[in-house]
Structure 1
Amino acid sequence: MTTTLALIALLDGISYASLLFLVAVGLTLIFGVLGVLNVAHGSLYAIGAYMAATLGGWLTAQGYNPWLTFPALMAAAILTGVVVGGLMERFLLRQIYEKDPTLQLLITFAVFMVLENVQRMVWGVQPYFMSEPLRALGNIELLGIRYTAYQIVFLPVMAILTMVGLRYFLRHTLAGAKIVAVTEDREAATSIGIDARKVYFVTFVIGACLAAMGGALATPTTSVLPGMGANMIVLSFAVAATAGLGNIEGALLAALLIGVARSFAVYIMPETEVLMPYLIMVLILLWRPMGLFGAVQARKI
């Protein structure tokens, strides 16, 4: 494998890992706090992508400055997370927190199937694409190869900022301290006056916004099609399981590991591309059943 090809594979893997991390960290945050493995998380990713394509397409059709598509991506993610995620938590998940995990899994899978059909009803089956952010940021040349700055600079920066911002929120804010307290011991947190239901709602909305942001940021790099959420939820679960379910910091490294490995597989052995993320997950779970960073630790609140 030549140096040039290795560089291409590495940059492609980092770009893909950035999107994968945004979705996976939302999934692992929800599981870590609520204890629910939300299969419908993939639908939030897809709806975020559709919303971003719709808003970006409208701005372009109206002749607005292409740079306005960047806030449109964030607006689409927040709108999807707050509205769809908020309604999902308030009227569905809140009713099953104490239920059997198998029932929770089946119900969230049912919601996923419903939302898949809602997407077809609202947006149809034709592909959507919105490339203005790619053109706005232009290209960067490395070793004679041209890359889009959006993919190799903007997406990794967004992933890192998200990681830093999320950790700061959880460790240095009152709302974050409440989330950590409920995660560690719900009964004790409730006994000192923390509203666990409110904490669950806020956590789920944050996780939903992260999933939708992954979809929104993916819109300029790929066609938005029905079924895109199914592939992403499986991959994001592989990342979360590899890192250790509920482990936020590990999700970034696991996403990078899986994203880069998948990218190299595309260039070296294309037939193993689909297999690679799950092979990595299986091997790591056989070695460390709790995931790479899933060791149980006592924490003082």
Structure 2
Amino acid sequence: MFKLLAIVTDGLIYASWLFIVAAGLTLVYGVMKILNLAHGSFYAVGAYAAASAAGVYFAAGYVPWGGYLVLLTAALVAGAAVSLLVERGVLRFMYGRDEVVMLLVTYALLLMLEDLIKLVWGVNPYMVYQPYSLLGRLQVGEVSFARYDLALIGAAVAIAGLLAWALKRTRPGRLLKAVICDREMAAALGIDVSRTFVITFVIGGVLAALAGALTAPLVSVVPGIGVEVIVIAFAVVVIGGLGSVAGAVVGALIVGLSRAVAVHFFPELELFVIYGVMSAVLALRPHGLFAGAAARKI
């Protein structure tokens, strides 16, 4: 019983982290049809900004609980600034190009941003353990869980609920769905598509930076974390279907629970299981589980 509880909880924690990482990636693709590989660098920027700012805060001896606000604020500001700079400085000149060209452009941005991160923060690891240890642990029978890990589940549920509400219940969300369905018709009806692109890309960058901030207390923030995470995020959105937020939720759950089972029973397959699941899904559903029907224009 406790083994099953540990597997399910570990799977949900990892799936929550995966969804937070992948949500911005799939949102940007759904609106802009750009597979943004620079998303990994936005994640890294958020992790570095959060770790460095929170590290200074805790070293100064301020109220410990305020460290969470510093952690999140630093990442959100950094993610919004970098994503806005990338969209206005580079991507807006590339709209209308082939999707492969956009993929190569964002890959080049990923490489440049990774080097820029090293110039700003150096190559030494950043560690900010206080937010993780501050919440303590929860004992359930023989199983002990870190409350910070459980808080990730709540954060993922909140983000998924907020995105679903914004897309379905608000006027900007409905306008965004109109752009997703037919960009040309939306522009003909008076929707400012360019402005929609800016807002969407910044939201995607902020979500990536937020994921980095939430991850910073769990790991050492080191060069290359952005490259590692974009591969996993790509696997999740491909399983769920590119451009589908609901697909990102389901894809994260499938990958998270599959990995948890592998870790507990077949640890040597931990790295393989993510890509094994992706291959199996794509063999049956080449466009992912929740891929929408492609419009055919005549």
| Residue pair 1:73, 1:213 contacting (<8 A) in 2 also | no
Match of 2:273 in 1: 276
Correspondence 1:161 to 2:168: no
Match of 1:16 in 2: 14
Quote the Cα distance in structure 2 between the aligned partners of 1:209 and 1:189.
Answer: 25
| Farther off after superposition, 252-261 or 32-41 | 252-261
Quote the Cα distance in structure 1 between the aligned partners of 2:79 and 2:189.
Answer: 29
| Residue pair 1:125, 1:226 contacting (<8 A) in 2 also | yes
Q: How does 1:196-215 map to 2 (within 5 A)?
A: 196-215=193-212
Letter in 2 for 1:252: V
Q: Which stretches in structure 1 are left out of the alignment for 5+ residues?
A: none
Letter in 2 for 1:23: V
| Farther off after superposition, 53-62 or 186-195 | 186-195
> Could you give the per-residue CA deviations for residues 103-125 of structure 1, whole angstroms, max 9, x where no partner exists?
11111111101111111111112
Quote the Cα distance in structure 1 between the aligned partners of 2:71 and 2:106.
Answer: 26
Helix, strand or coil at the partner of 1:127: coil
Match of 2:233 in 1: 236
| Residue pair 1:36, 1:97 contacting (<8 A) in 2 also | no
Letter in 1 for 2:251: A
Between Structure 1 and Structure 2, how many residues are aligned? 295
> Could you give the per-residue CA deviations for residues 208-256 of structure 1, whole angstroms, max 9, x where no partner exists?
1111111100111111111111111011010000000011012112101
Q: How far did 1:297 drift? A: 8.1
Match of 2:174 in 1: 177
| Residue pair 2:45, 2:79 contacting (<8 A) in 1 also | no
Quote the Cα distance in structure 2 between the aligned partners of 1:13 and 1:91.
Answer: 39
Quote the Cα distance in structure 2 between the aligned partners of 1:232 and 1:55.
Answer: 22
Quote the Cα distance in structure 1 between the aligned partners of 2:250 and 2:182.
Answer: 27
Quote the Cα distance in structure 2 between the aligned partners of 1:21 and 1:124.
Answer: 29
> Could you give the per-residue CA deviations for residues 78-107 of structure 1, whole angstroms, max 9, x where no partner exists?
112210000111111111121111111111
Letter in 2 for 1:229: G
> Could you give the per-residue CA deviations for residues 118-158 of structure 1, whole angstroms, max 9, x where no partner exists?
11111112211112222221110012222110102x10000
Match of 2:141 in 1: 143
Correspondence 1:256 to 2:225: no
| Residue pair 1:37, 1:105 contacting (<8 A) in 2 also | yes
Quote the Cα distance in structure 1 between the aligned partners of 2:8 and 2:123.
Answer: 33
Quote the Cα distance in structure 2 between the aligned partners of 1:264 and 1:128.
Answer: 31
| Residue pair 2:39, 2:208 contacting (<8 A) in 1 also | yes
Letter in 1 for 2:258: A
Quote the Cα distance in structure 2 between the aligned partners of 1:43 and 1:213.
Answer: 12
TM-score using structure 1 length: 0.94
Helix, strand or coil at the partner of 2:243: coil
Q: How far did 1:295 drift? A: 4.0
| Residue pair 1:6, 1:264 contacting (<8 A) in 2 also | no
Helix, strand or coil at the partner of 2:145: strand
| Residue pair 1:33, 1:179 contacting (<8 A) in 2 also | yes
Match of 1:72 in 2: 70
RMSD of aligned C-alpha atoms? 1.4
Helix, strand or coil at the partner of 1:63: coil
4+ residue stretches of structure 1 with deviation over 3 A?
Answer: 3-6
Q: How far did 1:73 drift? A: 2.5
Match of 2:285 in 1: 288
Q: How does 1:17-32 map to 2 (within 5 A)?
A: 17-32=15-30
Helix, strand or coil at the partner of 2:123: coil
Q: How far did 1:279 drift? A: 0.8
Match of 2:130 in 1: 132
Match of 1:55 in 2: 53
Letter in 1 for 2:268: E
Quote the Cα distance in structure 2 between the aligned partners of 1:68 and 1:201.
Answer: 31
Quote the Cα distance in structure 1 between the aligned partners of 2:108 and 2:262.
Answer: 33
Quote the Cα distance in structure 1 between the aligned partners of 2:274 and 2:180.
Answer: 29
